[in-house]
């Protein structure tokens, strides 16, 4: 009796520190944000006034915030879709794409495997500054220089409000693909080789090998990737804040929820209102998590 | 198990469990009402020591480390202060991130004594003022000046300083630099090509046409990534056409202030420049890139302020000779005459009211506003200060001289606006709308309507504090 009690106490003692840390630095700020959202706190004063749901009412009329929400929604659909398609394609080629006999990657696959992972190694801020130069709208821009040499006008990748969002999406996909190539490669490695070999012997080409064998067996991994990328799409901040003109511009054409929260808190000094935006974002994220958990319940394939 | 030294283990675990609890007390995001730190009562005041500075109390100074650096504080201001108070230990710090570093200190009730609240990440003056965090600097204006006990500080300053530093009737901040806005060019390039400074808008457009046809460089550019560089001349022009009240109305969020005819006329004029005479790629370049293009003689003119020459000192060719001209006459019946300038005191210094040594902070500002400090400053950072006559007899660079002469020629015809710092949301909207206007994505009419809509929204929003001038 006493021994089990002591054992429980022992475990409790070990858990106390991490749980306390979690409560203090994660849960309690969350709860405080819910409270701050109901005040008019401006960040420097010690006694914010309680104003009920005013911030939430105001938020519904905030055109820029809803614009940001639509951008997050577009990213939520497009970022996973593009990244997964490209990463699957690369992973397939790197692992089972070889023409002819045997199962293996295309020529030079071990080299490409490393190259694809490069973008993942760079810090997001570095990436953002790098792409500002890549997208420069004059003849020092990596993309515009060849275009201008061909006699075409420069494209305002970041300065044209109709193009800027796609530039952001492009950079995010570019950066994410490498990691998912590795993830899918690992998934492929866990599929028994003889399945591919059997399919090959039965005369499957690369196309049917991918759609009939690889994709169904990788489905679990793809779902995980989808959830990760969905979260990435919802909490994107640094790349937009650092890379785009006017932090989410031009003309708010690339802004997302997180940048609007930051702008309201640290530029307009409306911490109460920014917390209200944060609370809304919290519910969007929770909603996405619940939805994706529901949808991804599916029987596993046992080999 | 029995051999384990239990007390030590338990003690360790207890300590481990308690450590984060200690952190917990500090990790509160919600502000706590604190007993105000009672700033020690001032020492006895005298004519030489008008604020009652304690000669032994340390002083903490934070400088915004931007275009002017912070050497002017450590090499000019602080040694001068020390000549009078040798026993005051000055703790000097500099940062580019004023808000991130100092906002927690305000919220925690222990702000420093002097802050150069400048840069893109400056603290919000409205929020600070609303909470009574700022020392009333009114007594500074009426105190005897550092140089001459018979002259009040107020009389040594450009009058715009008092207007700009006043929020809700209290004088709370001192702008130290006199920013003079205009259209900047290379005197050498103009001389070599036989181009003349335009006095009217028609002459300006003709000049743009000449430069464009010459094929030597593009006529005009602005910091396309930061369109506030362009809404500045746009509004100065509107004020020139319609008078100073145009800007006062905009500041006061009056109905129809943005849709007024002069603003529309000015927006049309600049949209035409945007459509015809802009350097290629302008919309995607920032101020450094466009200014560097000008230094390379790739573009003739750009709108900027008197900080430009210092900002560009490393890329400017030696014989470039910066020059500045005011907004040309638009119509024959402009309300304000040729030479009207937009001037704006910048590098805003504040003294927190809940710091440890606010008296020392105010005295530091008084030292800064001496003729010697301001003159040395002007020379060091190549700019114009707000202290009258501080630039006299100094060896000024061509750009600073051009700006100083323009200021003298403008006389009383200077205009300014304050909504940019009062209503940050309106600033962001104006930035977005100006970018659209200049790249042809919106007409002048859409531009003014959009800003009027935003101004009306702000006016109707009870959570946003309103100011008037």
Neighbours of B364 (CB within 10 A): 26
Q: Contact A227/A151 with Cβ under 8 angstroms?
A: no
B211 CB-side CA count, 13 A: 30
Domain assignment present for residue A28? The answer is no
Cα–Cα nearest to B379, from B392, B365, B364: B392
Question: Which of A13, A43, A251 is closest, CB to CB, to B435?
Answer: A251
Note the ipTM here: 0.82
Q: Is B367 in the same domain as B231?
A: no
Measure Cα distances from A196 to A93, A96, A189, A204, B198 in Å: 13, 8, 11, 9, 77
Question: Which of A54, A153, A245 is closest, CB to CB, to B463?
Answer: A54
Cα–Cα nearest to A38, from A294, A278, A244, A284: A278
Cα–Cα nearest to B368, from B87, B122, B74, B151: B74
Phi-psi domain of B132 (left: phi exceeds 0; alpha: psi -120 through 50; beta: other): left
Give A48 to chain B, closest Cα distance, Å: 8
According to DSSP, the residues that pair with B168 across neighbouring strands are: none
How far apart CA B373 and CA B366 sit, in angstroms, is 10
Flag whether pLDDT at B26 surpasses 50.
Answer: no
Domain assignment present for residue B68? The answer is yes
Which residues of chain A neighbour B121 with C-beta distances below 8 Å?
A: 266
Three-class DSSP category at A39:
strand
Q: Is B325 in the same domain as B359?
A: no
Question: Which of B17, B424, B439 is closest, CB to CB, to A267?
Answer: B424
Q: What angle do CA B28, B31, B37 make, to 5 degrees?
A: 115
Q: Is B269 in the same domain as B317?
A: yes
Q: Is B207 in the same domain as B218?
A: yes
pLDDT for the residue numbered B217 = 94
Check CB contact under 8 Å for A24 and B24: yes
Domain assignment present for residue A261? The answer is yes
Q: CB distance from A269 to chain B under 8 Å?
A: yes
- In terms of CA atoms, which chain A residue is nearest residue B420? A268
According to DSSP, the residues that pair with B179 across neighbouring strands are: B344
Three-class DSSP category at B281:
coil
Burial A179-217 (b: 16+ CB within 10 A, else e): bbbbbbbebbeebeeebbeebbeeebeeeebbeebbeeb
Q: pLDDT of B146-180, one tens digit each?
A: 988 899 999 999 878 998 899 888 999 999 998 99
Q: Is B208 in the same domain as B270?
A: yes
Q: pLDDT of B196-228, one tens digit each?
A: 999 999 999 999 999 999 999 999 999 999 999
- CA A202 to centroid of chain Cα atoms: 39
Which residues of chain A neighbour B24 with C-beta distances below 8 Å?
A: 20, 24, 28
Three-class DSSP category at A235:
coil
Give the best residue of B2, B4, B31 to mutate against chain A (max A CB count within 10 A).
B31
Which residues of chain B neighbour A43 with C-beta distances below 8 Å?
A: 103, 107, 124, 127
Q: CB distance from A265 to chain B under 8 Å?
A: no
Domain assignment present for residue A188? The answer is yes
Give A26 to chain B, closest Cα distance, Å: 10
Q: What is the pLDDT along chain A (303 residues), one digit of tens a residue?
A: 567 788 888 888 889 999 999 999 999 999 999 999 999 888 777 678 888 898 999 899 888 999 999 999 999 999 999 999 999 999 888 887 676 666 677 777 788 888 888 888 888 999 999 999 999 888 788 888 888 888 887 888 998 999 999 999 999 999 999 999 989 988 888 888 888 888 888 887 778 888 888 888 888 889 889 989 999 999 899 999 999 988 998 999 999 999 999 999 988 888 999 999 999 999 998 999 888 888 776 655 556
Would you give the end-to-end CA distance of chain A in angstroms? 44
Q: CB distance from A252 to chain B under 8 Å?
A: yes
Check CB contact under 8 Å for A161 and B436: yes
Mean pLDDT of chain B: 87
Cβ neighbors of A295 (< 8 A, separation 6 or more) are none
Q: Is B95 in the same domain as B134?
A: yes
- In terms of CA atoms, which chain A residue is nearest residue B461? A58
Domain assignment present for residue B28? The answer is no
Query: Regarding predicted confidence, which is higher, B401 or B247?
Result: B247
Domain count, chain B: 2
Domain assignment present for residue A303? The answer is no
Check the CA dihedral B220-A161-A159-B311 and report its sign: positive
Q: pLDDT of A243-266, one tens digit each?
A: 998 899 899 999 999 999 999 998
Q: Is the peptide bond before A250 cis (omega within 30 degrees of 0)?
A: yes
Q: pLDDT of B251-294, one tens digit each?
A: 999 999 999 999 999 999 999 999 999 998 888 888 989 999 99
Domain assignment present for residue A5? The answer is no
Q: Contact B179/B345 with Cβ under 8 angstroms?
A: yes
Check CB contact under 8 Å for A246 and B428: yes
Domain assignment present for residue B25? The answer is no
Check CB contact under 8 Å for A45 and B31: yes
Model confidence at B7, in pLDDT bands (50, 70, 90)?
A: very low
Check CB contact under 8 Å for A45 and B130: yes
Q: Which domain holds residue B156?
A: 59-177+345-395
Query: Regarding predicted confidence, which is higher, B3 or B80?
Result: B80
Give B195 to chain A, closest Cα distance, Å: 26
Q: What is the mean pLDDT of residues B384-397?
A: 81
Q: CB distance from A41 to chain B under 8 Å?
A: yes
Check CB contact under 8 Å for A251 and B436: yes
DSSP H or E run through B64: strand B59-64
Residue A270 sits in a domain of what CATH number? Answer: 1.10.3720.10
Check CB contact under 8 Å for A159 and B283: yes
Domain assignment present for residue A206? The answer is yes
Number of helices (H) and strands (E) in chain A: give both, helices first: 14, 0
Inter-chain Cβ pairs, chain A and chain B, closer than 8 A: 146
Pairing type for strands B322-325 and B173-186 reads antiparallel
Number of helices (H) and strands (E) in chain B: give both, helices first: 20, 11
Cα–Cα nearest to A17, from B8, B28, B9, B16: B16
Q: What angle do CA B113, B114, B116 make, to 5 degrees?
A: 150
Model confidence at B17, in pLDDT bands (50, 70, 90)?
A: very low
Q: pLDDT of B83-120, one tens digit each?
A: 999 999 999 999 988 988 998 899 888 999 999 998 87
Query: Regarding predicted confidence, which is higher, B331 or B10?
Result: B331
Q: Is B290 in the same domain as B222?
A: yes
Q: pLDDT of B346-384, one tens digit each?
A: 899 999 999 999 999 999 999 999 999 998 998 888 888
Check CB contact under 8 Å for A45 and B131: yes
Q: CB distance from A101 to chain B under 8 Å?
A: no
Q: Is B258 in the same domain as B156?
A: no
Residue B126 sits in a domain of what CATH number? Answer: 3.40.190.10
Which residues of chain B neighbour A20 with C-beta distances below 8 Å?
A: 17, 20-21, 24
Domain count, chain A: 1
**Which pair of tokens denotes residue A48?**
């914010």
Q: Is B92 in the same domain as B137?
A: yes
Domain assignment present for residue A8? The answer is no
Q: CB distance from A22 to chain B under 8 Å?
A: no
Tokens 């130069």 -> residue: A133
pLDDT for the residue numbered A49 = 85
Flag whether pLDDT at B25 surpasses 70.
Answer: no
Three-class DSSP category at A160:
coil
- CA B357 to centroid of chain Cα atoms: 25
Q: To the nearest 10°, the Cα dihedral for A143, A145, A149, A154?
A: 70
Check CB contact under 8 Å for B29 and A29: yes
Check CB contact under 8 Å for B439 and A159: yes
Check CB contact under 8 Å for B13 and A14: yes
How far apart CA A240 and CA B165 sit, in angstroms, is 34
Q: Is B362 in the same domain as B323?
A: no
- CA A110 to centroid of chain Cα atoms: 26
Check CB contact under 8 Å for B29 and A138: no
Cα–Cα nearest to B107, from A269, A44, A29: A44
A234 CB-side CA count, 13 A: 17
Q: Which domain holds residue A220?
A: 34-42+50-295
Q: CB distance from A246 to chain B under 8 Å?
A: yes
Domain assignment present for residue B13? The answer is no
Check the CA dihedral A88-A93-A97-A102 and report its sign: negative
Give B14 to chain A, closest Cα distance, Å: 8
Q: pLDDT of B37-93, one tens digit each?
A: 444 566 777 777 888 898 889 999 999 998 788 999 999 999 999 999 999 999 999
Give A133 to chain B, closest Cα distance, Å: 10
Q: Is B301 in the same domain as B262?
A: yes
Neighbours of B149 (CB within 10 A): 12
pLDDT for the residue numbered B410 = 86
Question: Which of B29, B124, B133 is closest, CB to CB, to A269?
Answer: B124
Flag whether pLDDT at B24 surpasses 50.
Answer: no
Q: Using CB atoms within 10 Å of the CB of residue A226, give its burial: 0 to 12 exposed, 13 to 18 middle, 19+ buried.
A: middle
Q: Is B162 in the same domain as B191?
A: no
Measure Cα distances from A41 to A50, A247, B344, B463 in Å: 9, 23, 30, 10
How far apart CA B263 and CA B266 sit, in angstroms, is 5
Cα–Cα nearest to B384, from B435, B324, B330: B324
């Amino acid at each position: 009796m006493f021994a089990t009690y002591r054992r429980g106490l022992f475990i409790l003692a070990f858990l106390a520190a991490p749980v306390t840390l979690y409560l203090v630095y994660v849960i309690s700020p969350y709860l405080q944000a819910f409270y701050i959202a109901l005040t008019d706190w401006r960040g420097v004063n010690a006694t914010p006034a309680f104003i009920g749901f005013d911030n939430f009412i105001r938020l519904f009329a905030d055109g820029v915030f809803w614009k940001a929400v639509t951008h997050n929604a577009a990213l939520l659909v497009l970022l996973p879709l593009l990244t997964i398609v490209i990463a699957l394609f690369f992973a397939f080629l790197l692992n089972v794409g070889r023409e002819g006999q045997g199962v293996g990657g295309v020529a030079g696959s071990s080299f490409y495997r490393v190259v694809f992972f490069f973008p993942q190694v760079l810090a997001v801020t570095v990436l953002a500054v790098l792409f500002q130069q890549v997208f420069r709208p004059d003849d020092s821009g990596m993309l515009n220089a060849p275009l201008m040499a061909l006699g075409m006008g420069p494209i305002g990748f970041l300065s044209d409000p109709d193009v800027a969002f796609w530039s952001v999406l492009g950079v995010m996909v570019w950066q994410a693909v490498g990691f998912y190539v590795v993830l899918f490669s690992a998934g492929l490695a866990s599929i028994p080789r003889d399945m591919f070999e059997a399919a090959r012997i039965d005369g499957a080409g690369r196309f049917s090998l991918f759609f009939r064998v690889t994709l169904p067996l990788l489905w679990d991994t793809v779902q995980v990737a989808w959830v990760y990328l969905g979260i990435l799409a919802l909490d994107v901040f640094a790349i937009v804040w650092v890379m785009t003109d006017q932090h989410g511009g031009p003309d708010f054409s690339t802004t997302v929820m997180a940048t609007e929260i930051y702008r309201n808190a640290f530029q307009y000094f409306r911490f109460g209102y920014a917390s209200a935006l944060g609370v809304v974002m919290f519910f969007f994220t929770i909603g996405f998590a619940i939805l994706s958990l529901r949808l991804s319940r599916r029987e596993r394939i046992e080999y | 198990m029995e051999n384990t030294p239990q007390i030590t283990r338990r003690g360790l675990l207890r300590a481990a469990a308690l450590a984060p609890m200690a952190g917990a007390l500090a990790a509160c995001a919600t502000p706590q009402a604190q007993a105000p730190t009672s700033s020690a009562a001032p020492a006895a005041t005298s004519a030489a020591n008008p604020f009652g500075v304690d000669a032994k109390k340390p002083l903490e100074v934070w400088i915004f480390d931007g275009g002017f650096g912070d050497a002017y504080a450590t090499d000019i201001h602080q040694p001068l202060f020390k000549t009078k108070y040798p026993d005051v230990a000055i703790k000097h710090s500099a940062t580019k991130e004023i808000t991130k570093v100092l906002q927690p200190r305000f919220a925690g009730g222990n702000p420093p004594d002097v802050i150069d609240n400048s840069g893109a990440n400056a603290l919000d003056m409205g929020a600070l003022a609303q909470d009574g965090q700022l020392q009333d600097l009114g007594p500074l204006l009426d105190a005897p000046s550092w140089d001459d006990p018979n002259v009040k500080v107020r009389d040594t300053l450009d009058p715009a300083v008092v207007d700009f530093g006043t929020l809700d009737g209290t004088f709370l901040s001192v702008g130290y630099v006199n920013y003079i806005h205009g259209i900047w060019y290379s005197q050498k390039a103009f001389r070599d090509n036989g181009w003349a400074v335009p006095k009217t808008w028609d002459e300006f457009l003709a000049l743009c046409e000449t430069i464009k046809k010459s094929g030597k460089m593009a006529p005009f550019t602005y910091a396309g990534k930061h369109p506030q560089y362009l809404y500045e001349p746009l509004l100065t022009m509107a004020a020139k056409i319609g008078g100073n009240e145009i800007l006062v109305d905009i500041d006061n969020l009056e109905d129809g202030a943005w849709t007024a005819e002069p603003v529309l006329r000015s927006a049309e004029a600049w949209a035409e420049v945007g459509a015809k005479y802009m350097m290629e790629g302008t919309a995607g370049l920032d101020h450094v890139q466009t200014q560097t293009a000008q230094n390379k003689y790739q573009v003739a003119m750009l709108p900027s302020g008197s900080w430009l020459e210092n900002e560009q000192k490393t890329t400017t060719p030696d014989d470039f000779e910066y020059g500045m001209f005011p907004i040309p006459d638009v119509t024959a019946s402009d309300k304000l005459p040729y030479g009207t300038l937009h001037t704006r005191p910048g590098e805003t210094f504040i003294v927190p009211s809940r710091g440890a040594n606010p008296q020392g902070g105010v005295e530091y500002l008084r030292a800064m506003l001496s003729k010697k400090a301001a003159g040395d400053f002007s020379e060091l950072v190549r700019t114009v200060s707000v202290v009258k006559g501080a630039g006299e007899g100094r060896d000024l660079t061509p750009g600073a001289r051009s700006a100083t002469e323009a200021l003298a020629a403008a006389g009383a015809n200077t205009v300014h606006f304050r909504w940019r710092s009062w209503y940050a949301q309106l600033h962001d909207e104006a930035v977005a709308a100006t970018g659209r206007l200049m790249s042809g994505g919106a007409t002048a009419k859409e531009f003014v309507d959009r800003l009027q809509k935003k101004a009306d929204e702000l006016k109707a929003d009870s959570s946003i504090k309103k100011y008037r001038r």
